[in-house]
A and B are shown apart, each in its own frame.
Chain A
Amino acid sequence: MNKISVYVAGEPNVAEAVRTAKLMASELGFARIQAYYIATAASELAANLFIHADGGMFEVSALTDRPGLELVVTDHGPGIADIEKALQDGYSTAGGLGCGLPGVQRLMDEMDINSQPGQGTVVRARKWL
């Protein structure tokens, strides 16, 4: 069980993504609070897939070189026009609270966003053990 993918097209899939992330986090030996952070970050990232794009792939994988866990979400949606703005608290294009992406950044240890307008978005977020 090094990598699990869930295709997220709607809310029920988000719950599934959260369960897989939580399970892998606790199997890798993350502390309760860390696992909770990871699960919440997974929920934010997975929800973005169907809120901002028509759906996309959610992956959770175990990192081995330096022990940790990585969440990757990939979509072929409209992309993020202004990444800097998307990382500001309170900024939302979909009527949300605007703390999803900045929240993920704080919940995880590392996060990088690769987005091409009109092509899609890939967000990677890592947490070290």
Chain B
Amino acid sequence: MTTNSLAPIVTLLQQHRAAISSEWMTEVLRVWMRLYPGLVNEDELRRQADALLKELGKLFSEHSGEAPPDITGNSELGEIARELSSERAKKGFKPADTAQYVITLKNVLTQHLVRTLNESPTSLTLCLRAVDDVLDRLSLLTFDAFVETRERVIAQQSLSLVELSTPVILLWNNVLLLPLIGVIDTVRARQLTERLLESITKHEASVTLIDVTGVPVFDTSVARHIMKAIDAAQLLGSRIVMTGISPEGAQTLTKLGISFANVISRATLRAGLAEALQLVGRRIEFTGGVHK
């Protein structure tokens, strides 16, 4: 095809880019400034909008033929859209407010096309369809980027949670404390077992207190994870004192038919500590303070 049926779009994007950009940004900024004050960098947005329109113009001018041009995430245009979208996601924008960015551009372009091509309906239809198609794909791309970013954030958070939640504490010489808090799943179980075993070796721990006060539900999989950790710890020569099983937890464990056979168990961490100290031949003594 020698005459590009989408030429009017190219002309529009060349001659009226400033106007389109300004109309588009006015609308976007109006909404975003109200919803996310302080999170919007106006200059940056305007720069991005100009760059995006320039790339969009390039896309339409390099294109010839009836089928609308393709957009991939790797293209310059896709890159700009992804970057913008993932920035919004990081700043906590809602997906709908982020999608509005491309939708607003579509509205502005449509208005301009209708105004310039109202004399030639065939050309208008073709151009509108092409704009529709390209911007819809751009929309999908920004949406993908948004979700990807959010998912990365969530994955990061759960990683940091795992990091945070399995400390092994040296309570006294040769006495370790492993406080368990929250849901014990396979990943956490593996990690806490590794840490526990490392610490037992490092500190030559002869007694390890495992406190389960913070474990919300004691079911067979949690029990199995803890049993494995205990077995491994005992192989390294550490006695285990388990503390903090709630009365509900104790009754549930018996109903399930689970017993921790080789384990000393105490209701509270206090009683468990006393037991542990006794096992290493020590005790806590009153030395004459104000409180008795």
Contact = CB atoms under 8 A, between A and B. Distances in A.
Contacts, number: 63
B218 interface: yes
Contact of A40 (B183, B185, B219): B219
A49 interface: no
B185 to A, nearest CB: 4
Interface string B181-192: 001011100000
Given A44-B219, A97-B258, A99-B257, A36 B224 contact: no
B252 A97 contact: no
B223 interface: yes
Given A11-B185, A96-B224, A36 B256 contact: no
Given A11-B186, A44-B219, A107 B248 contact: no
Interface residues of B, number: 22
A32 B217 CA distance: 12
B125 interface: no
Nearest to A36: B248
Given A89-B257, A106-B256, A97 B220 contact: yes
Interface in A39-64: 39-40, 43-44, 47
Nearest to B188: A11
A36 B256 CA distance: 12
A15 B220 CA distance: 14
A40 B218 contact: yes
Interface of A: 11-12, 14-15, 18, 22, 32-33, 36-37, 39-40, 43-44, 47, 89, 96-97, 99-100, 102-103, 106-107
B257 A96 contact: no
A47 B225 CA distance: 14
Contact of B217 (A12, A43, A99): A43
A43 B279 CA distance: 36
Q: Which of A12, A97, A107 has the most CB of B within 10 A?
A: A97
Given A11-B185, A33-B248, A33-B251, A40 B221 contact: no
B115 interface: no
20 contacts: A18-B216, A33-B251, A36-B248, A36-B249, A39-B217, A40-B218, A44-B219, A44-B256, A47-B219, A47-B221, A96-B224, A97-B220, A97-B224, A97-B258, A99-B256, A99-B258, A102-B257, A103-B220, A103-B257, A107-B255
Contacts of B183: 15
Given A14-B185, A39-B216, 6 more contacts: A37-B252, A40-B218, A43-B221, A89-B257, A103-B220, A106-B255
Contacts of B220: 44, 47, 96-97, 99-100, 103
